[in-house]
Structure 1
Amino acid sequence: MSDDSMPGRGPAIGYLVTGLVLVALSCGLGFWIFTHGEAPFAIDVWWNALVAEWYSPVLTGFSRVMNWLGGGWFGVLAVPIGGAVALIIVRRPWAAAYFLAAEAVSAGGVQVLKHLFGRVRPEDIIVVSDYGSYPSGHVANATTLAVAAFVIFPRVWVAVVGAVWVVLMAFSRTYLHAHWLSDTVGGVLIGAGAALLVAAAFAVPMAREKARAVEKAASLG
């Protein structure tokens, strides 16, 4: 079957390869952290001390809001389900299924790495969090959301907004001392990797779905 009759086949290969590389990097960084012992990296200690000097009620309030938006029932359930419902409303059911699957795979991958490496969180953490510091689940969730949104809507502004969202989430997690800086890097790697691996599985039906939507819009126009 030719590529013309299989739209999305080319991107699927790229998603698969890139996703595998990113997941491998997240595992590799986790293994490095594990073999390094309980002591954090020098850059982790430096950044943790630096953000402590930036303490302010405004930044603390902002970071607590990000803590709520990126985790718990809102970040894990409301955002994925809400996004899927919105995609179904605009008649993109395959995109909705991809969005939900990417979020689920990302969350599962984070928990696997957390329990595999069991890194201790910073002692000065000021919020309640679950087991394991590596990788950051909030950052992974934010990254999966950003990458999935760009896969579905490949626009420059979507990429920019997504990147800003991820950076702000990473900052808030380290500001609250919920994670070391390297934890947020791991979150980006596993979050993006999961989103791209799932995109590889959904690329063909999503491409067909998008092509039909474009054809319908053209016929109506």
Structure 2
Amino acid sequence: MSGADAGDAGPGAPPPGDATDHERAQGGHHAHAPTPLRVSRRPWLAAGIIALIAVALVGTVIVYSERRPFGFELDLMTALAAARTPAVTSGALALDLLGGGVLSNVVLPIVIVAGLLLWRRPWAALYFGIAALASAGVTRLVKVLVGRVRPEDILVQPDFGSFPSGHSSAAALIATALGLVFMRTWVWVVGIAWTVLMMLSRMYLGAHWLSDTIGGALVGAGVALIVWAPLAYRLYRENRLPHPPIWRSVDTSAKA
């Protein structure tokens, strides 16, 4: 994240260019931290808003077209159904279990929040919890409003509403939120790979059309960006602190 918004630093924050000196004055706890960066929120917030606007537009088109799939989606679904194999189907069913229901919407978010708290990231835990709830709520609302029918050749028993894909939105939410929390390339790479695999598995199983999975990914990523914006500076400052687990002291970690 680069670029400076002078008003983004928050009240009482040190000037961006003086961040390192300010932290040395606090006792040198951040000597190991990454190079100071300025937190620019506006482009990311705009991206999140644009993503949700895109979902609204696609949903409107779907409703206007009497909730039928687009022609290219029928061709793609036919091709995927013809390419099914036992091994790939087993993997897709495993993703169906991991990416939806109570496991994905309740258990996994609780585990992530608990892990962030245990490793001294309370602002990250708060951010992820709010983002996960908001993403699930937006996904459910759009499902009800659009009411799109799912494909007929389906291998699982999903809930009501095909647009957007709840599995895809949950995967994109986790990928985007954790990417913003940890600010590490490998987290983004793993998160994007997880989201793409989830989207492909939903179409492979016949649970969603292509536009459903894209809409779900946009919901998850968009909500994560919008919720991140007001907490961005606090999350960045928190990320620069030591993060030993709560059963270890910070001083011991800093000396290690």
Shorter-chain TM-score range: over 0.9
Higher normalized helix content (fraction of residues) = 1
Q: C-alpha distance in 2, partners of 1:53/1:220?
A: 59
Deviation at 1:165, TM superposition (A): 0.4
**Contact map agreement 1:106 1:144 (CA 8 A) in 2:** yes
> Is 1:157–2:212 an aligned residue pair?
no
Query: CA separation of 1:154/1:56 partners in 2, compared to 1, >3 Å: closer, same or farther?
Result: same
Q: Which residue in the other structure is 1:91 paired with?
A: 120
**Contact map agreement 1:9 1:203 (CA 8 A) in 2:** no
Task: Name which of 58, 68, 81 aligns with 2:110.
Answer: 81
Report the count of equivalent residues. 220
Question: What secondary structure is seen at the aligned counterpart in 2 of 1:116?
Answer: helix
Deviation at 1:174, TM superposition (A): 0.6
Q: Is 204-213 or 84-93 further displaced after alignment?
A: 204-213
Q: Which residue in the other structure is 2:134 paired with?
A: 105
**Contact map agreement 2:95 2:198 (CA 8 A) in 1:** yes
Identical counterparts, % of pairs: 40
Q: Residues 1-221 of structure 1: matches in 2 within 5 Å?
A: 5=13, 10-213=39-242, 220=255
| Unpaired runs of at least 5, structure 1 | none
**Contact map agreement 2:132 2:173 (CA 8 A) in 1:** yes
Q: C-alpha distance in 2, partners of 1:85/1:142?
A: 18
Deviation at 1:13, TM superposition (A): 2.2
| Unpaired runs of at least 5, structure 2 | 1-5, 17-36, 244-249
Deviation at 1:45, TM superposition (A): 0.4
Q: C-alpha distance in 2, partners of 1:115/1:135?
A: 10
Greater RCO structure (CA 8 Å; 6+ sep): 1
Q: C-alpha distance in 2, partners of 1:39/1:84?
A: 39
Q: C-alpha distance in 1, partners of 2:41/2:109?
A: 22
Q: C-alpha distance in 2, partners of 1:87/1:158?
A: 15
**Contact map agreement 2:80 2:204 (CA 8 A) in 1:** yes
Q: C-alpha distance in 2, partners of 1:2/1:39?
A: 46
Question: What secondary structure is seen at the aligned counterpart in 1 of 2:41?
Answer: helix
Output the amino acid matched with 1:102: A
Question: What secondary structure is seen at the aligned counterpart in 1 of 2:157?
Answer: coil
Over alpha carbons, which structure has the higher Rg? 2
